[in-house]
Structure 1
Amino acid sequence: MGWIATTPEERRRQLGSFLLGTGGIGGIAAATGPGIGLSQEEGHKLIDRALDKEGIKVLDTADMYAAGASERIVGTWNAAHPDTDVLIQTKTGVTAEGPNLAPDRVRRQLAHSVAVLGRVDLYIAHQVDPNTPWAESLPVFSHAVESGVIRAYGLSNVDGAALSSALDSADRLKLVRPELIQNQYSLLARSDDQDVLPIVRNEGLAYTPFSPLATGLLAGRYSNGEKPTHGSRASIASRHAHYFDDEQVMVKIRAFDRLAAEHDVTSAGLALAWLVNHPLVTAPIVGPSKESHWTAVHEAQKLPWTSQLADRLDSLFS
């Protein structure tokens, strides 16, 4: 029996409807530069808002976000709020030289993250390391659970084969199993439908997708040929860049915008509602930095959901 709840409903109660992504605090993900991302003061205000008004239960960061600034700022907030019961989740394994889950490095990085953040509740292998077998890296995560350093661990950016291999390795070596999966997933990025989500369902894993709005493409920002502005997530992240020049995709997005308007919600609200109502999604990761971003979160929670609406979205983004 792991620490994460076993049923989808219990997992949502445990982790909340949304996780707060803090990659934009101190910078945007791995990016740094003048005017990009939230300052420490802005980051602290965002966390306060998320916990006090929005019911957020998990703060998500990583040791490489903003060259470590994200963890440091979350850590200073945590030090000023010693009695909070929010869960702190961080990740390791992404380096400038490529993926690295070597056991010694994972141990060092976990110790560093605990020191910077004050504690780590949930720890995630950020990327598959082709040079380090799961049989070498997973014992470090398992031992961290067994020794009480963390409560549970998970995997990010895994396909079905890598996830199956990790679970098999954990079982064969009698280790604590990974309990959380954090992959890119949205109406525009649905490859996990084929191989990852069936495993999530069969193994009772938590699934907390990132990039739920496809860096703004599903937020109605670029439907009419607009280009990302400097400092926006879309200007930094490259995973969706090819969509801007794909007219077939943009036609779908414009139809999606019209569907959102039919239901009197923003495009972002509809995109998040699809995830909130997905039976295998525990909680998407969001990183609001403006009031309008919170509006989309509220819309997603309040929108009456029907099988007809789900079918229309599946048909549009098959």
Structure 2
Amino acid sequence: MEYRHLGQSGLRVSSLTLGTMTFGGVGKMASVGETDLAGAKRQVDMATERGVNFFDTANMYSEGRSEEILGEVLADRRESVLVASKVRFPMGDGPNDEGLSRHHILRQCEASLRRLRTDWLDLYLMHQWDGSTPLEETLATMDQLVRDGKIRYYGVSNWSAWHVMKALQVCERHDFIKPICQQIHYTAQARDAEYELMPAAVDQGLGTMVWSPLAGGLLSGKYRRDQRHLDGTRFSQGWTEPPIHDEDRLFDLIDVLVEVADGHGVSAAQVALAWTLTRPGVSTAVIGARKDEQLKDNLASAELTLGPDEIAAIEKVSRPALLYPYWHQHNTASSRLGHADRVLHAAYLDD
């Protein structure tokens, strides 16, 4: 297992993080997974045996049950692992039971600490943007939590690049401790983050945690061109996250993933994960699984090394079209691009 710095912090995290959205199976999360305490212990043991030191949860996963299960499983090894949780989504029916207000953040941080049986969170993520709360209020609260020792670091999740840049500017102006990372969706199938989020993170020294790096199983190799309309599959039920804009393009990518996988004698899922870990700025990929055998397979991706030609083949078949102003920059200003610019532009220049 490789360990990477999370942004410019001194914190080193495993290149694979175990996500716990499947823990609990309460409420809406039952459709994601129903891993009970015994199953969670098996999965955590599997992950730590392969070198995983980072575990990701959220207060709203299974209405808090995911945190409770993770806290119980990690109780005897808390000092040797890193735990991330999140705040923002509703945790009740009241008008102040959601968002990134000081009121909600402080209450939910204490609740997460109780459920996780810990005195601190290693990382606390603001779980989506809150345009109804002054950013100064939100960031002052996160700064306070770090200084009080309740959290060690904090970051953002699913924010726009302008949200991130505004937050960094507010921190600079008020001398607040800054966020160290972003958690985003980013795969070979969904490379939208390369337009703004990834260049901004590289430029500002933020780490990037990738959630759903297999696109909810879309890139596992299970779905092939001739199986797209099989009953009982997510294709037959309508796939919305991530959205599929071009099925033929998707299956072209899956064909390449399977071809590369066959050459290594591994699964397409391992290839998709390994490719994501080669991308500039990626600190860790958050993996989760309903079944132990899926997790075992995903964990093996940490040991898979793709060749330059294989990386390039996956990049080329999945390369997005340049949007404005990027096609104009490519055509007229590519002689003076910076390091962060090349996160997006490099493939187009080198092709």
TM-score range for the pair, normalised by the shorter chain length: 0.7 to 0.9
Q: Which has the higher strand share?
A: 2
Match of 2:109 in 1: 110
Summarize the alignment of residues 200-215 of structure 1 with structure 2, pairs less than 5 Å apart: 200-215=201-216
- Specify which of 49, 52, 57 is matched with residue 56 of structure 1: 52
Match of 1:94 in 2: 89
Is the partner of 1:220 in helix, strand or coil?
coil
- Specify which of 7, 15, 18 is matched with residue 17 of structure 1: 15
State the distance in 2 between where 1:212 and 1:61 align: 16
TM-superposed CA distance for 1:226, in Å, is: 5.6
C-alpha distance after superposition, 1:239-290 (max 9, x if no partner) = 13x4398344234323432333234321101101112222311110011332
Q: Does 1:40 align with 2:37?
A: yes
- TM-score normalized by the length of structure 1: 0.86
**How well do the aligned residues superpose, as a CA RMSD in angstroms?**
2.8
Structure with greater Cα Rg: 2
TM-superposed CA distance for 1:28, in Å, is: 8.1
Summarize the alignment of residues 198-237 of structure 1 with structure 2, pairs less than 5 Å apart: 198-223=199-224, 224-225=227-228, 229=232
For structure 2, the residue ranges without an aligned partner over 5 or more in a row are 320-351
Match of 1:74 in 2: 70
Contact 1:28 1:236 in 2 (8 A): no
Contact 1:124 1:153 in 2 (8 A): yes
Summarize the alignment of residues 176-195 of structure 1 with structure 2, pairs less than 5 Å apart: 176-195=177-196
Contact 1:99 1:129 in 2 (8 A): no
- TM-score normalized by the length of structure 2: 0.79
- Specify which of 291, 294, 312 is matched with residue 293 of structure 2: 291
For structure 1, the residue ranges without an aligned partner over 5 or more in a row are none
After superposition, the Cα gap between the structure-2 partners of 1:161 and 1:276, relative to the gap in structure 1 and judged at 3 Å, is same
After superposition, the Cα gap between the structure-2 partners of 1:218 and 1:199, relative to the gap in structure 1 and judged at 3 Å, is same
Output the amino acid matched with 1:157: N
Of 213-222 and 41-50, the range deviating more from structure 2: 41-50
C-alpha distance after superposition, 1:4-48 (max 9, x if no partner) = 66559x76xx11121110111112895236x94211211122112
Match of 2:166 in 1: 165
Percent identity of paired positions between Structure 1 and Structure 2: 27
State the distance in 2 between where 1:28 and 1:108 align: 21
Output the amino acid matched with 1:23: M
Q: Does 1:282 align with 2:280?
A: no
TM-superposed CA distance for 1:219, in Å, is: 0.3
Is the partner of 1:20 in helix, strand or coil?
strand
Output the amino acid matched with 1:293: L
Size of the aligned set, in residue pairs, is: 305
After superposition, the Cα gap between the structure-2 partners of 1:229 and 1:103, relative to the gap in structure 1 and judged at 3 Å, is farther
TM-superposed CA distance for 1:115, in Å, is: 1.2
Is the partner of 2:30 in helix, strand or coil?
coil
